[in-house]
């Protein structure tokens, strides 16, 4: 998640200021007095829309042999799901009659309006048993579905550059395995943007002589860069992988996108303190809160002697917990409309 919500903070105002300056533009226009539109607006330069979803039966099993049609006033598209019941395709913007069918199951139909540049996930595609057919074979595992969904998340970038991997636009995403949690944290932590962020943070701290114990010159900058990157890396791994694996929790933010502005804001802020468990139920978000303070405590190993201590750990933990709430609000109200999703899968 952005705004340090998945990262450890630093005591110096330099890094805090850099985060605010480099990302404040993304919060511009975040209006809590107006209801966010139910669908993403058109994105300049895009001439197609992407529609995706997962087809299941009434027992929650995926339906790998389903076929899908989108019938519009001028054009018709056909799609087939993969072995995990998942489909994704690009269509010309417009309104379509969507029909999903599979042998032995009752067809599922709805109407879909797709906007240029929109990334539309169709929820609730459930095919019921045809009364004339007694059995139907389905395949696919939760791990395979999660693998497909993680691939989509790893394509998500704000303004095409800033990684936005820790957000799920699928309301009932499959739980992540331990391997998938560590893989997502690793890919996020080594992303080139995070290296640039650490470099910018170190430059501002150098100019302000934050953490003066590091000194100046190339050596001082190198130490500041290393500390800034270590802060991020340690937090990514603890809050995004180690604790979620040990506590069986999901480190992702689940985009809601519906309801009043107040209810959505309350939900976003609450996700700092609650999260989905691997069992799909909401529970205290120990991974994020404890992870913030644990990463702050570990930073005492490499901060200058005068900048270590209990107060620094507490300051870092509290600042990053608060920044997590800001990031969650941005994810719920703004960043979905600025996030690109790579190629359709």
- Where is pLDDT greater, at 324 or 344? 324
Mean per-residue pLDDT for 58-70? Answer: 88
- Asked if the model's pLDDT at residue 331 lies above 50, the reply is yes
Rounded Cα distance, 306 and 228, in Å: 17
DSSP letter string, 85-117: SEEEEEE-SEEEEEEEE-TTB--EEEEEEE-TT
DSSP letter string, 9-35: --SSHHHHHHHHHHHHHHHTT--SSSP
pLDDT band at 65 (very low <50, low <70, confident <90, very high): confident
Does the pTM surpass 0.85? The reply is no
- Asked if the model's pLDDT at residue 270 lies above 90, the reply is yes
Instruction: Please report whether residue 3 resides in a domain.
Output: no
- Asked if the model's pLDDT at residue 248 lies above 80, the reply is yes
- State residue 317 phi and psi, 5-degree precision: -65, -45
Domain carrying residue 31: 13-39+144-340
Residue 111 has a CB neighbour count (10 Å cut-off) of 8
Instruction: Please report whether residue 279 resides in a domain.
Output: yes
List beta partners, residue 114. 94
pLDDT band at 145 (very low <50, low <70, confident <90, very high): confident
Residues 242 and 324 in one domain: yes
Mean per-residue pLDDT for 165-172? Answer: 90
pLDDT at residue number 139: 42
Residue 157 has a CB neighbour count (10 Å cut-off) of 18
pLDDT band at 286 (very low <50, low <70, confident <90, very high): very high
**Strands 157-158, 162-163: pairing kind:** antiparallel
Report the number of distinct structural domains present in the chain: 2
221, 290 Cβ separation under 8 angstroms: no
Residues 134 and 150 in one domain: no
pLDDT at residue number 342: 53
Among 99, 115, 140, identify where a domain stops: 140
- pLDDT tens-digit series, residues 7-38: 333 444 344 333 443 444 333 333 333 333 34
pLDDT at residue number 10: 43
Residues 167 and 222 in one domain: yes
Tell me the CATH number at 73. 2.60.40.1120
179, 154 Cβ separation under 8 angstroms: no
**Strands 274-276, 282-284: pairing kind:** antiparallel
Residues 134 and 199 in one domain: no
Among 93, 120, 140, identify where a domain stops: 140
């Amino acid at each position: 998640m952005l705004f340090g919500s998945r990262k450890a903070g630093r005591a110096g105002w330099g890094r805090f200021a850099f985060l605010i300056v480099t990302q404040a533009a993304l919060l511009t226009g975040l209006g809590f007095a107006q209801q966010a539109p139910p669908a993403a607006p058109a994105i300049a330069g895009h001439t197609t829309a992407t529609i995706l979803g997962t087809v299941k039966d009434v027992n929650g099993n995926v339906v790998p042999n389903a076929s899908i049609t989108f019938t519009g006033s001028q054009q018709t598209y056909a799609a087939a799901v993969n072995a995990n019941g998942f489909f994704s395709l690009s269509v010309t913007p417009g309104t379509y009659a969507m029909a999903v069918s599979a042998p032995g199951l009752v067809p599922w139909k709805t109407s879909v309006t797709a906007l240029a540049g929109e990334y539309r996930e169709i929820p609730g595609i459930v095919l019921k048993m045809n009364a004339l057919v007694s059995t139907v074979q389905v395949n696919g595992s939760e791990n395979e579905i999660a693998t497909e969904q993680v691939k989509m998340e790893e394509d998500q970038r704000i303004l095409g550059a800033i990684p936005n991997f820790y957000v799920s636009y699928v309301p009932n995403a499959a739980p992540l395995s331990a391997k998938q949690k560590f893989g997502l944290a690793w890919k996020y932590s080594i992303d080139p943007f995070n290296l640039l962020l650490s470099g910018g943070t170190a430059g501002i701290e150098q100019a302000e002589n934050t953490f003066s114990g590091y000194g100046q010159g190339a050596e001082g900058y190198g130490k500041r860069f290393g500390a800034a990157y270590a802060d991020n890396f340690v937090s990514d791994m603890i809050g995004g992988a180690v604790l979620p694996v040990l506590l069986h929790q999901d480190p992702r933010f689940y985009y809601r996108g519906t309801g009043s502005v107040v209810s959505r804001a309350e939900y976003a802020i609450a996700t700092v303190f609650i999260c989905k468990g691997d069992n799909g139920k909401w529970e205290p978000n120990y991974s994020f809160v404890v992870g913030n303070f644990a990463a702050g405590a570990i930073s005492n190993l490499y901060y200058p002697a005068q900048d270590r201590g209990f107060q620094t750990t507490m300051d870092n933990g509290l600042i990053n917990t608060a920044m997590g709430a800001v990031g969650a609000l941005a994810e719920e109200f703004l960043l979905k409309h600025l996030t690109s999703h790579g190629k359709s899968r």
